[in-house]
């Protein structure tokens, strides 16, 4: 298992997808937050009205903006990288070689999920470090009290956002297609948006993290968080099971 984790980590860290994906997620959040701050400081009332809770030049405004960006943009980045991690074996033709390895395919799938989790953790740590740097450069001072809590909330949101992309791994495995995984990523973003508008709220796992972080609606209840946890666990289990049952004749 350790060998499988090491190999999967090397695949991700030495690939253009891993490097570009990391840069896109981290840079995207920080650049967009900077753009929103510039819009606020421009004093344009039309932009301020559209930005809502993030239309303040301080720590709360910066963190509200980063939460909105993470909920939508980072989801797409995490999903695409995850789709590549599981579909690349099929698109590059390396899946046949995995059948000859002494490591079981279930262990390989588990290693991929573990490496993805570790990568997502590292990406979110760098986002928090970047946001702290942006806040200091903008003259907001060192975060303290509620601002530190806001950074913690942003970190948890980032981890949960990565976790709820796990169905992408399952679909990429079933279809053996990178494009299908990317399509599901986009589809989940749309489902999340439509589900919130339809009133599903926190009962929709892919929308619950954003609703919790942004503090919208009545909040996310413990029961809804349990549904979210079951959603993530079931997605991971189905992915591993699909790899265990893989056949070369299709």
Which residue intervals of 43-104 are DSSP H helices?
A: 45-51, 59-69, 75-91, 95-98
Here the tokens at position 170 are 């399952």
Query: Residues for the chain: how many in total?
Result: 250
Local confidence band at 250 (pLDDT 50, 70, 90 cut-offs): low
Residue appearing with tokens 């946890």? 229
pLDDT in tens, 17-31: 999 999 999 999 999
Q: What's the count of helices (H) and strands (E) in the chain, helices before strands? A: 12, 0
Q: Which of 40-49, 83-92, 128-137 shows the lowest per-residue confidence on average (mean pLDDT)?
A: 40-49
Q: Which phi and psi angles does 95 have, rounded to 5°?
A: -65, -35
pLDDT in tens, 25-57: 999 999 988 887 777 776 666 555 555 555 677
Which residue intervals of 102-166 are DSSP H helices?
A: 105-137, 146-163
pTM, two decimals, is: 0.90
């Amino acid at each position: 298992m350790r060998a499988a984790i090491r190999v999967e980590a090397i695949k991700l860290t030495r690939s253009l997808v891993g490097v570009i994906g990391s840069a896109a997620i981290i840079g995207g959040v920080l650049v967009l937050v900077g753009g929103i701050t510039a819009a606020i400081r421009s004093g344009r009332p039309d932009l301020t009205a559209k930005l809502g809770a993030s239309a303040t030049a301080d720590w709360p405004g910066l963190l509200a903006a980063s939460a909105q960006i993470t909920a939508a943009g980072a989801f797409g980045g995490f999903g695409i990288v995850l789709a590549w991690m599981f579909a690349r074996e099929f698109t590059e033709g390396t899946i046949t070689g995995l059948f000859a390895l002494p490591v079981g395919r279930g262990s390989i799938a588990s290693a991929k999920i573990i490496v993805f989790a570790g990568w997502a953790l590292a990406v979110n740590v760098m986002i928090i470090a970047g946001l702290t740097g942006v806040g200091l450069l903008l003259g907001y001072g060192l975060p303290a009290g509620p601002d530190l809590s806001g950074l913690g909330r942003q970190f948890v949101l980032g981890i949960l956002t990565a976790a709820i992309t796990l169905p992408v791994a399952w679909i990429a495995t079933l279809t053996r297609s990178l494009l299908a995984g990317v399509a599901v990523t986009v589809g989940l973003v749309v489902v999340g948006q439509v589900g919130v508008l339809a009133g599903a709220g926190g009962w929709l796992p892919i929308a619950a993290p954003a609703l919790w972080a942004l503090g919208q609606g009545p909040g996310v209840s413990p029961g809804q968080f349990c549904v979210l946890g079951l959603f993530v666990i079931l997605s991971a289990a189905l992915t591993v099971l699909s790899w265990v049952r893989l056949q070369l004749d299709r």
